[in-house]
Structure 1
Amino acid sequence: MSHADEAHGAPPAPADAALAAPATDSTPDTVDGIAFARLYGEPLFKLPTDLYIPPDALEVFLETFEGPLDLLLYLIRKQNFNVLDIPMADVTVQYLGYVDQLRQTNLELASEYLLMAAMLIEIKSRMLLPVKKADSGEEAEDPRAELVRRLLEYEQMKLAAQRIDQLPQLGRDFLRAEVYIEQSITPRFPDVNSEDLRAAWADVIKRAKLVQHHKISREELSVREHMSSILRQLQNARFVEFSDLFDTSKGVPVVVVNFIAVLELCRETLVEITQAEPFAPIYVRLAYLPA
């Protein structure tokens, strides 16, 4: 913008207006380095002076071991060493390096690892000494033999534990199915439907046909009389089996009239037909009159 434009109050050019009031934040993400973080959307290039960070706040464990044998086995397997011929010098140096880092953070935890480090140093020193034959003439035992035995046993137990952990576990891989069944306090007997009554009636007719009389006679049968006879029979017993109400020796006509009498009593709600459970015998009893 020229001095003449400023004197006459001319509006600023579009490019100058964009520089005066940018539409978006033009602050770079990094300035001579990488930002530590963002605070309310703004890059933070140095830590605040009043911010206290505990020494252990940023501590990260990349590898965790369950003990000295686990660490030693990890160092051997990671570098594809033969467990039966361990290069003690390389393994001891790497092991001591890990123990030194561990001692700086947790001396209590490092005590167990220090014991294994002493054993490694002892084995290494014994291997440096000249080998002496035993009095019996046999070669002396390899100083690494006991350590190899412990490593192989530990590896077997560790692999077995991993296989067991892969098995389905209750609460982790599956849940136990639970079904709630509501049980009523008072037992409710199943209702007798027409199909059950028809099957019972068919069984009575079948047994009635087994007894045949060759005497031909005309007999007048009264349904009311049979109804009274059935009521008298039910008064002497609490329950009477359905088939016991029929005297099959008197022939089919008497049985038919007797069955009609039972149906009439049911229609007039003078008797009840029930059974204890499905496919159980059918019983007849007097109907209980309401108080």
Structure 2
Amino acid sequence: MSFEIKLPLFEGPFDLLLFFIERDELDIHDIPIYQITNDFLDYLHHMEQMNIEVASEFILVAATLMRIKSKMLLPRPQLDDEGNEIDPREELVKHLLEYKKYKSVLEQLKEMEDAQISKEKRGNVLKEVRSLSENVNVESELQDLDLYKLLKVFQRVLERYEIEQNKPRHEVIQYPYTISGQKDYVQAQLLKSPKIAFSTFIESDPNKIAVIFNFLAILELLQLNIITMYIGEGFNNFWIEKLEEAAAE
């Protein structure tokens, strides 16, 4: 049989880092990142061996330490706008100093809280709970119900219904046209008439989308050397003809 024990030794990853720094009497402004990273990872591996769940905050700090360690091993340091070398540990040190500052006053705040609790009475808890239960009791609400409250509730329901009905809705409609389908349509029309003006296709189906698909289909047929095109009379008008018949002429 196996059992699992969870011991909250440290409240967070920064608490663990401060413990290593204070234990080894390290300078927080000049952290030996190699030593701290190894100690931190060893602690996480120890937690995993004891089947203790590792919080995501510890994993994030471990990844940050390894990233800083890899940056310090690179031969090319990063420079700021003034040309000064940027210490990869700067941001970590800043967070540690802030965490240490807040942690230093936690004990004092806890003592103040305990002193205040011992001085102030917490009141009649049973009376407060009873009062709260009466406020949310359905039967007590129905006792104070009148026609005006019903009308106000009905008005709010109608307003919400009207807002819901007038909400903008985006509807996607699939066009009943395809390039391949319009190519077949154009070739079928050329079988009936060897030479057709593009305006004829517009007159047969004046829908803007149909005109665009027909034009794209004609362009593809031109690229495939199935049809040829002649500039016709009129504004933006042209004639199309099957390439075989055009070559015969």
Normalised TM-score (structure 2): 0.43
TM-score (norm 1): 0.37
Greater Rg, structure 1 or structure 2? Answer: 1
